[in-house]
Every structure is written in structure tokens, then in C-alpha cells.
Structure 1
Amino acid sequence: MQTNVLFVLYKRRWAFAIGLAILHFFAGISFASYGQISNFYVQFFNRSHAQVDWITNARNISTVFITFPLTWLIFKRSLGLRNLVLINSGCCTSGLLLVVASLTNGSLFSLIFIGQMLCGLSEALTVAVCPTFAALWFPESQVGTAIAFAFFGVYVGDCTGYVLPPYLLPITNRTFVVEERRSLEELTIGQHTLQYMYGSFLAVSAIVTLLFAIFFTDKPPTAPTKAQDLKNNKVFETRTIGEFFQLTKKLFTNISYVLTCIAIGLVMQLVILENLLLSEIIAKSHITHKTDPNIVSGRIMGVFSVFGLVGAMTVGKIIDRFKRYTILAIGATTCLLLTTIGIALSVIYKSVVGLYITNVLFGFFNASEVVFLEMASQLTYPIDETLVNTWLTGIQTTVGLLLGVFGRLFFSLWGSLGLLSFQSACMVLCILLSCLISPRNRRLEVDSEIENPPGVDTPLITSR
């Protein structure tokens, strides 16, 4: 006798997605709001440019070290999606609190460093949480859109971080050289302005954390798809350390999964090179003389973020429609390589217009990260998505940390063209990795009939 199971969609899934998008916004802020005004931090904290780079790079450090214990707790089922989200939002709030505190005095550089480590841990968890949340709460026809929607926040956060701080900081020196000096009055005004900016972000983050603590659950009461229902109904026995290593071995002997992790690290983190160094590239290459290089680079990176958002939503819809992950990944990464070469040519010919156009394309095709995120879940089904995406996050943030370090090294040794050549080489590697990833889609192989009949949405907030 066949039993008919009704798969349910909950309206509250969109409220949760908005909350995750807000956390992504703060992740974007923690990434983007330092590089364009690095000269201010160099002077305020009395540090070198290489040391100030670590305000941005620090966001990847905590993730590298927390990945192993985090995956163990997830494997033991001691840490579900709800707890991950609460740790995520709590780290974001704590990190922003330390950033605000560090701006009270120029001697508190260590506080902003620790705050960035916490914000980075929050960002890493958000990257891991979003695909897991999408797979647990959304039907297959909306998973790509749900991931892209959550990533809406990071692009808006990036854009805000790139554009807002350069406009907020007053500058009376209009020579626009690389090592511009601000007066004591300008430093004080900038210090208070940044405190107000980060303080407002801190207040919103605290509210989101409180709402998640009240309403968020590990999974919906009724699964949205047949694939998820089958996995939710599986009986899990007590898990041992041996089984953990066996499952981890299974993940890392899946060559396509490992290649996906590295590829998404290259795609998601490559922008760190422009974030850290674009204003210095513009100043040292004398691309503009009439406008502050910080403002110009902020505008360019802001354009990158806006079209990254457009690209993410577009790619999310395309994935939901066609499910051709490998082809989409190869095409998008090839376009990223071409736009990277275009950025290098724009620097050579000192074209501000060229930098705007190439960064429009670079932002749009950077949305291939959405493809890789869904590929990871497809390739490893039915292994727990949280475990899969936590390992993925640890690998891709390690790639990002290395890119930040080597990017500054290449820039110091060979200047702008050395840096952009390194960036292009990374994209060539990403294309090769995309070609080697298996096209198999395990989740899609689960036979599914009409998964979500119209009219089964439930009220926004219900009891657990």
C-alpha cells in the first residue's frame, strides 16, 4: 500500500532568508570597509599597509582553525542548524562590538583584529549555513534562488563597505598621493564617524540575533521535498570518532567535491586582491589626478557589488531552470578570466572607464559562486549538508587567506601588473578545476513527483 506524503512549504522560510541576508550584509561590510580607506587606518593605528591588510585578512584566520572541531560537533549532532545560526549571529554582533571599541583609541589595533576574526567566523558560518538552510526549507525548484537571495546581503554589504567609508572621511589634502596625511582634526572626525557607522550596524545585528534565538528551528516540521523527507526519516545511531573520520575520508576522496571547494575559494575570494589593493593601484599607476583614489576605487568596487547581485539572482534562476552545473561553472569562470585580463589592460592604458566596465562584468560573472555552492550539495547527497558546507567553507577561506598574503607579495615585488597576472593565473586554475568536476547530481536522482502543491504554505510564525 502506497502512502501519500504531503510536502509543505513554510512562509517563514523567507523571513529566515531575510535574516541570513542581513548577516551576509554585515559579512560584506567586514570585508569591504577597510581596503578603500587603508590610508586612514595606517595613520590612525600607526601601522604599515601590510599590517593594515590583516584587518581584512584576519576574517579568514578563525575559520581555518575552527573548521575541524565544528565539523566534529555537527557530525555528533551536538550542533544543529539552529545553533550554527545563533553562533553565526552572535559572532557577528560580538565582532562589530569590538570594532566599535577599537575606534576609541589608536592603540587598540588588537581589538579590531580580534573583532574581524569574529566577523570572519560569522561570514564563514553564513556561507556554510545558507546552502544547508536552502536544502532543508526550500523545494528543488527554489534552492538556487534561495541561496542567491541570501547572498543578496553580501553584495549590498560589499557595495556599502566600498562606497560609504571614503565619502564619510573628510580630506582637506587634495594632492591625492598614495601616502596622504590627514590632520588631527580629520582623524578625529573620521574616528567618530566610523564609530557611529559601525555602532548602527551593531544595533541591527543584535536585533537579528534576538529574533533568531526566538523563532529559528533546526528544520521545518514537515520536509519540503521527497529527497529531504527520506533523509530526515533515516534512523541515526550513536556516532563515534572512527565513523567521523570514515565519513570525512568519504568526502575528501570525492575528487569532484574537493575540486569544487578549491574552485569556490578562488571565485569567492579573488576579489580580496582588488579590495585590498585597488586604491593603491589607481594611485601608483596615476590613473586619476582629479579625484581621490579612495573614492574612485570605492565607486568601482561598488559597481562590482551591484552587478554581482544582478549576476547572483540571474544565475540562481538559471540553475533552478536548467540544473546544468558543470557547463555553467566552466562558462562563468572563463568569463571571469577574460574580465580579469580586461582589468589589467585598463590599468596599462590608465582607463578609468575601462576599470568600471570590466568590474561590471567581473561582478556579474563572480556569481558563479552560487553554482559551486549548489554543486557541493548535489555531489555529496545524502551526507548532511551542514557538514559538507562547513568543510567547504574551511577550504575556501584557507584559499582566501593565501590569496590575500600572496597578492600583497606579488604587488610588492612586481607592482600592479604582477598582481593582475597572479589574479589571471588563479582564474585559469579555476577553469581547469571546473572542467574536472563530475556532472553527476545525486539529489536530482531521487525520484520526485509533484513536491509542493499550490496553496500549502503555512503562516509566517508558528510554534516549534
Structure 2
Amino acid sequence: METNQEHPKLYTRRWAFIFGISILLLFGGNSFSSFGQISNFYVQFFNSSHAQVDWITAARSVSPMCISLPFALLIFKGKIGLRNLIIAMATCATTGVMLVTLSLLDSSLFFLIVLGQTMSGLAQNIGLAIPSGLASLWFPESQVGTAIAFTVVGIYLGEGIGYIIPALLVLSSNRTDAILSGNKLASGQRSLRYMYGSYFAVSAVVTILFVIFLTDKPATPPTTAQERKNTDLQVDKTWNKFCKVIKHLFTNPSYILVCILLGFNFQISMPENLMMSEIVADFKLSQTISPDALGGYVMSMFSLGGLPGLVIGGKVVDRCKTYKLLTSIGNASIFVTTVVIAISVIFKSAPWLFVCNALYGFLTGFVCVNLFEMITQITYPIDETLVTTLMFGFQAALSLLISGFARLVFSTWGSLGLLSFQCACALLNTVISCFISLKNRRLEIVKGENESDNSQTPLLTP
């Protein structure tokens, strides 16, 4: 058996773990995008309002806000390692899609779809706390960005599927407020139930495979930095030490700023996600395609653009390691893109709307990879999973805030006000990215090892 004293070693199964997590995150991405574009169907099926249907999506953010700190404590004390965290994520994801499937059995089961979305949101937020820790434990420094990118790809692919497939399964008209016939409601109910049932089956299989094959960490670490962290850093696991770590993180301005940046990075698209079909109908962007379908196609371009953005972002991060510069340029480009999206809607240019949303998704994916690795660099050697778990408590709070305010803005000022709100969020994100003071603490260990065989960079502790 290999030991930590041997040279760093890589294991092929690390890619299988990435693939499995990406599948589960695909279902999480789908739970984000499956409801907004066909909100009229859910309004009529559950006899609810558009604001209540918004809560089907927004409910994903409730549980992460409540459990991020307790989860961080369990991770800190070693009560829940990477293996158990991934299995918890898989169990929540499976339970979530099961409850959503059951909710479509009868129109009186609205509470089940909200509960299912709460579980799906919990699964996705646990899942998003995993990539950085998994990458640093199983991958060499030259592959960390790529590993993160291939993990998060599942979210964007899931969102793309969620934007398109439900709108094709649910028959609708050219008006978002049209009354659907009983046959259309029954057909949509049946089709969506089959879709979510298939998700449940796949998720259950992935969960079982993780229970059988997944391990906490490799027998031999992939980098010298990880090896030194395992051997040199003796962690005091008392409550007082946990409080000191939390204080250290939340008094680190750069950590707070990156948490906010990542929250905005994931949630700035929320106004479009919830209300693109209503924007399409408001500006009458098409006379031949229903707003549900066209809104889904437009938003799918965001997700499809995000896939190459993640992959290219991962490669660029692995090569350059200039996190702040890349993030600042990416966020500035996102702001410009949101402005052009608003202009495209005003001038009723559907082709430009498609192109800009694809670019928007590309830039969001590109910045996402930078932020994931940036936050673990500035907090090394604190446990990466603990750091990102707390970070997604921030992200969940921003999700609720943005989704609630977006509906209020749309109700008061309509589509133009909503798009202006999105542009303002992107501008704020650009400004925040300029104030990060970045120190690549984990990278310093690797550079210290490479520059001299006889000297080592001191292990930095909070």
C-alpha cells in the first residue's frame, strides 16, 4: 500500500468521481431552469400565482442558508469527510427529484414540489462545495482548474436541458396567460412526471455506485502542497479553534468579496431564468414560436455557452494562475453583455439575444472556474470543502434576495426595469472584483518546492 511518504501519485478513478458528481449537478442545474419558462403551466396545474411558482425555484436556496454553518462545523471536526459529503449530496439529489416526481401525481401536492426543490437546492449547494476540495485532494496543481471545470459542467448542461425539454413537453400557446385545456394540462403532467422519474432512476444508480466505490482521499496525495498539509498541519478540532477559523475567514475582506462575486456570478442570470418567457411575450419577439419555447431556447444558449467557458476557463487558469485579472476582465465583459442583451430586447432582435446569451454563459463559466480556485488559494491551508460550504451559504442568500427583488422589479417596471436590474447587478460585480487583494497561498508552496530542492516555503496557517 502506498503511503504519504512516497512521491505524489495520480489515480485514474479520480475522473470517474468527477463524472458522477457532474451527473448529480446536472439534475441540480435542471431544478434551477425547469420551471420559469413554463410557469403558466404550473400556475394553472397547481392553481397558484406566478410569485408562488417563482418560489419553486427560489426554494432551492432555503436549506443551504440554514445548514452551511452546521455542515462546516461537521467538516472541521472530521465528522463528515469528502466521501460522506458526496453521498449526502447524492442522497439529497435523489430525494429531491423523487419528491418533484410525486408532486406531479396530483395538483394538490404543491408542497411536495417545493420540498423537493429544497432538497435539490441542498444537493446542488453541497455539490458546489465539493469541486475545489476534490480537485486539490485528487489532482495535481496543473489539473485543478480543469477538474473544477469538468465537475461544474453538469450544472450548465442541466440548465440547458431544463430550459428546452419542459417547454417542448408542455403544450402552450403564444400567450403566457392563455388558459390551457384539461387535455393539455394532463399531457404536460404526464410528460413531466416521466422526465423527472427518469432523473430519479439515474440519480439513484449514481448514489449506489458512490456508496460502493468512493473513498475520502487517495492513498498518496497528488501534490507536495497537499502532502505537507496532511503531515505538517496539526489541526486543533475544538469549538474554540473552529470559531477562530470562522473569524479568520469572515474578517478576510478578500474571502468575503469572492463569496459575493461567486454568488452574483451564479445568480445574475436569475431574472432571465424566472421571466424570460414573460420578457419574450412582453416585447412580442416572435409571432410563430410560443414565449415558453422561445424563452427556453434563448436561455439554453446561456447554458450551452457556459460549457466551453468552463473548459477554456479551466485550461487558462491551469496555465496562467492570474485569477484576479481574469476575473476582473470576465466580469467587465459580463456587464457589457447584459447591456447588449437589454438593447437586443428593446430593438426586438432575437438573433442578437441568442448570441449575447451564449456569450453571457461563456463568460459566466469562465469566471466561475477562476473564483473556485481563487477562494481556495486565499484561504489555504483551511479545508477547501469547509471554505466552499460557507461560501455557498452566501450564494443561497443572494439567490433569494435577487429572485424576490427581480419579481418586484418586473411587477413594478416591467421587462425593461428587470433587464436594467440585471445590468446593475453585473456592474456591481465588476466593481467588487477590482477590490480583491489576492495571495496565492497554496501556489506558493508548489513554487517553493520547484525553486529549490533544499528549502521549502513555510506552511501558512490562519
- Pair 1:120-2:121 in alignment: yes
Could you tell me which amino acid in structure 1 is paired with residue 213 of structure 2?
F
Aligned to 2:383: 384
Aligned to 1:77: 78
User: What CA distance in whole angstroms lies between the structure 1 residues aligned with 2:379 and 2:432?
Assistant: 17
Aligned to 1:100: 101
Aligned positions of 1:13-162 closer than 5 A: 13-162=14-163
Aligned residues: 446
Aligned positions of 1:410-449 closer than 5 A: 410-447=409-446, 449=449
SS in 2 for 1:350: coil
User: What CA distance in whole angstroms lies between the structure 1 residues aligned with 2:284 and 2:233?
Assistant: 64
Could you tell me which amino acid in structure 2 is paired with residue 390 of structure 1?
T
The runs of 5 or more residues in structure 2 that have no matched partner are 452-462
User: What CA distance in whole angstroms lies between the structure 1 residues aligned with 2:67 and 2:350?
Assistant: 41
Asked whether the 8 Å contact 1:93–1:205 carries over to 2, the reply is yes
Shift of 1:432: 1.4
User: What CA distance in whole angstroms lies between the structure 2 residues aligned with 1:38 and 1:213?
Assistant: 36
> Aligned match of 1:286 in 263, 284, 308?
284
User: What CA distance in whole angstroms lies between the structure 2 residues aligned with 1:194 and 1:234?
Assistant: 53
Aligned positions of 1:304-315 closer than 5 A: 304-315=302-313
How much identity, in percent, do the aligned residues show?
49
- Pair 1:178-2:179 in alignment: no
Shift of 1:72: 1.0
Could you tell me which amino acid in structure 2 is paired with residue 426 of structure 1?
C
User: What CA distance in whole angstroms lies between the structure 1 residues aligned with 2:93 and 2:398?
Assistant: 22
SS in 2 for 1:178: coil
Could you tell me which amino acid in structure 1 is paired with residue 33 of structure 2?
A
> Aligned match of 2:205 in 207, 217, 235?
207
Aligned to 1:357: 355
- 1:146-181 alpha-carbon deviations (Å, 9 max, x no partner): 00001111111111000111111124xx4x122011
Decide whether aligned partners of structure 1 residues 225 and 296 sit closer, same or farther in structure 2, where only a CA change above 3 A counts. Answer: same
- TM-score w.r.t. the length of structure 2 is 0.94
User: What CA distance in whole angstroms lies between the structure 1 residues aligned with 2:163 and 2:373?
Assistant: 28
Shift of 1:295: 0.5
Asked whether the 8 Å contact 1:269–1:397 carries over to 2, the reply is no
Aligned positions of 1:313-328 closer than 5 A: 313-328=311-326
Aligned positions of 1:232-247 closer than 5 A: 232-234=230-232, 236=234, 239-247=237-245
Asked whether the 8 Å contact 2:132–2:148 carries over to 1, the reply is yes
User: What CA distance in whole angstroms lies between the structure 1 residues aligned with 2:192 and 2:46?
Assistant: 14
Could you tell me which amino acid in structure 2 is paired with residue 397 of structure 1?
A
Shift of 1:237: 5.4
Asked whether the 8 Å contact 1:178–1:284 carries over to 2, the reply is no
Asked whether the 8 Å contact 1:37–1:166 carries over to 2, the reply is yes
- Pair 1:225-2:223 in alignment: yes
Decide whether aligned partners of structure 1 residues 149 and 428 sit closer, same or farther in structure 2, where only a CA change above 3 A counts. Answer: same
Asked whether the 8 Å contact 2:61–2:400 carries over to 1, the reply is yes
Shift of 1:5: 3.9
Shift of 1:450: 7.0
The runs of 5 or more residues in structure 1 that have no matched partner are 452-464
- 1:194-239 alpha-carbon deviations (Å, 9 max, x no partner): 0100000000000000010111111111100000001111364552
Aligned positions of 1:259-298 closer than 5 A: 259-298=257-296
- 1:108-167 alpha-carbon deviations (Å, 9 max, x no partner): 000000000000000000100111111111011000000000111111111100011111
Q: Which moved more, 1:331-340 or 1:434-443?
A: 434-443
Asked whether the 8 Å contact 1:279–1:293 carries over to 2, the reply is yes
Decide whether aligned partners of structure 1 residues 144 and 108 sit closer, same or farther in structure 2, where only a CA change above 3 A counts. Answer: same
User: What CA distance in whole angstroms lies between the structure 1 residues aligned with 2:18 and 2:67?
Assistant: 25
Decide whether aligned partners of structure 1 residues 226 and 297 sit closer, same or farther in structure 2, where only a CA change above 3 A counts. Answer: same
Could you tell me which amino acid in structure 2 is paired with residue 84 of structure 1?
L
CA RMSD across the alignment: 1.4
Asked whether the 8 Å contact 2:6–2:220 carries over to 1, the reply is no
SS in 2 for 1:233: helix
Aligned to 1:454: none
